[in-house]
Amino acid sequence: MNNETVNIVRVAMIGDIVGSHGLETLTVKLPVLIKEHNLNFVTVNGENAAEGFGITEREYKLIIQAGVDVITSGNHVWEKREFWSFLENEKNILRPANYPPSVPGAGFARIEKGGVNWIVINLQGREFINAIDCPFMRFDSIVNEQKDVAKPQIIIVDFHAESSREKEAFAYHADGRASLIACTHTHVQTADERILPKGSAYITDIGMTGITDSVIGMDIKICQERFRKQVQYQMKPAVSIEQGQLQGIIAEIDADTGTAVSVKRIA
């Protein structure tokens, strides 16, 4: 019989917050989730927290106060220009690492918590979205830079991309090097969570935190008019008298090896 104790940690990655209703849902439901599941680490994608487009200092502070360790983002992180200097100075909010190095902010964070070195990497895809530097190569370079970091070490990736093909290809590229690869951007949670052959937990999209009776968190009628008339009306987050839904994923990870033990969707 093997009497060795496995050092299991639990990490949650929460899907894109959409507007004030999504933010309210997070602040109410995340503390309960952390307690119920005994979570050791939490990331949230916050790029749509400021009324559906971008993030400001106000939303940043509320997200952190809810119990989030690192905020990730994507192509909408640049919407609020007044936030750029804040992005530059705060190390637990990320922009995709494969943007040119001259833009504000950092693309990955290293946080020591609970005796574990947590490395969170934020990357953006290139298919059907503005093409920037190669996320595959940028991931390789970051991982190589972190080889000397003291163990135990857990690498988490938010891959913000439109194409499910690109998401899956990236996941197999990172398999065995990242503990958890959770993708964002489409706001629609997929049902393909699994542990890949080399031990990485994966899901194609973790969904969103916002009003479910909507079009990806946005007002239904406005979205319909955009498609019917082909006029780019300004989208607005959906509103409701009922609380929204928090979506994401929870993975159990062996902290000593970085290998995922289990993975499940939350909604």
102, part of any domain: yes
Is 261 buried (19+), middle (13-18) or exposed (0-12) by CB count in 10 A? Answer: middle
Told to judge if 187 belongs to the known catalytic residues of this protein, a careful annotator would answer: no
| pLDDT tens, residue by residue, 48-78 | 999 878 899 999 999 999 999 999 999 988 8
| pLDDT at residue 4, as a whole number | 61
44, part of any domain: yes
Residue 226 near residue 207 (C-beta atoms within 8 A): no
Rounded Cα–Cα distance for residues 77 and 111 (Å):
21
Mean pLDDT of 211-225: 77
| pLDDT tens, residue by residue, 106-146 | 999 999 999 999 999 999 999 998 889 999 999 999 999 98
Mean pLDDT of 183-210: 96
| Number of Cβ atoms within 10 Å of the Cβ of 183 | 29
Catalytic one of 21, 37, 76, 187: 76
Q: Is the peptide bond before 152 cis (omega within 30 degrees of 0)?
A: yes
In this structure, what CATH number is given to the domain that contains residue 151?
3.60.21.10
| pLDDT at residue 19, as a whole number | 87
Mean pLDDT of 74-85: 88
267, part of any domain: no
Rounded Cα–Cα distance for residues 92 and 90 (Å):
6
Whether the pLDDT of residue 189 is over 50: the answer is: yes
265, part of any domain: no
| pLDDT at residue 45, as a whole number | 97
2, part of any domain: no
Helix 164-174 and helix 135-145, axial crossing angle in degrees, nearest 10: 30
Residue 64's closest CA among 32, 109, 30, 37?
A: 30
DSSP string, 36-72: HHT-SEEEEE-TTTTTTS---HHHHHHHHHTT-SEEE
80, part of any domain: yes
Hey, what amino acid is at 126? R
Domain count, the chain: 1
39, part of any domain: yes
Strand partners, 237: 218
| pLDDT tens, residue by residue, 221-253 | 877 878 888 877 777 878 876 778 999 999 999
Q: How confident is the model at residue 2 (pLDDT cuts 50, 70, 90)?
A: low
Hey, what amino acid is at 243? Q
Whether the pLDDT of residue 1 is over 60: the answer is: no
Helix 57-65 and helix 19-37, axial crossing angle in degrees, nearest 10: 20
Residue 29 near residue 247 (C-beta atoms within 8 A): no
35, part of any domain: yes
Whether the pLDDT of residue 185 is over 50: the answer is: yes
Per-residue tokens: 42: 């939490």
Rounded Cα–Cα distance for residues 166 and 211 (Å):
27
Q: How confident is the model at residue 148 (pLDDT cuts 50, 70, 90)?
A: confident
* Cβ-based neighbours of 194, under 8 Å, separated by 6 or more: 201, 202, 203, 263
Per the structure, the complete domain to which residue 129 belongs is given by 8-255
Rounded Cα–Cα distance for residues 254 and 44 (Å):
22
| pLDDT at residue 59, as a whole number | 94
| pLDDT at residue 234, as a whole number | 76
Mean pLDDT of 34-56: 93
Please enumerate, as own/partner, the contacts of 216-219 that have beta carbons within 8 Å and a separation of 24 or more.
216/18, 216/186, 216/187, 216/188, 217/16, 217/18, 217/19, 217/22, 217/48, 217/52, 217/187, 218/18, 218/52
